[in-house]
Amino acid sequence: MNIESLVSKYINSAEKVFNKIQVKSGTIITNEKIDNVIKYAKDYLEDSKYYKNQGEFKTSLTSIAYCEGVLDALKLLDVVNFDWITKEPTEK
């Protein structure tokens, strides 16, 4: 499948979700659930590094974007604390 077809597939899938998504009432987010989601983010990071080493940069970028999206979602839910490092340290 070429990249354009893959992007179209993911966009279509996300649009279908947004058409049917429902917010659950009375939801409780436990530390166990948070830890599980953090594990998913770590797995996406490891996938990204693997695909980068394989020279599959598009897949690597997709994986790290998933990782960042999951981390951002956790932060938006106010269940984790961290700051994105936006500037690389300069070498002397």
Is residue 71 a part of any domain in this protein?
Answer: yes
Q: What is the pLDDT of residues 10-57, one digit of tens each?
A: 999 999 999 999 999 999 999 999 999 999 999 999 999 999 999 999
pLDDT of residue 18: 95
Question: Which structural domain, as residue segments, surrounds residue 71?
Answer: 30-81
DSSP string, 11-66: HHHHHHHHHH--PPTT----HHHHHHHHHHHHHHHHHHHHHHHTT-HHHHHHHHHH
Radius of gyration over every alpha carbon of the chain, rounded to an integer in angstroms:
16
Residue 49 included in any domain = yes
**What is the domain count for the chain?**
1
Whether 65 contacts 48, CB under 8 Å: no
Coil, strand, or helix at residue 72? helix
Rounded to whole angstroms, the maximal C-alpha distance in the chain is 53
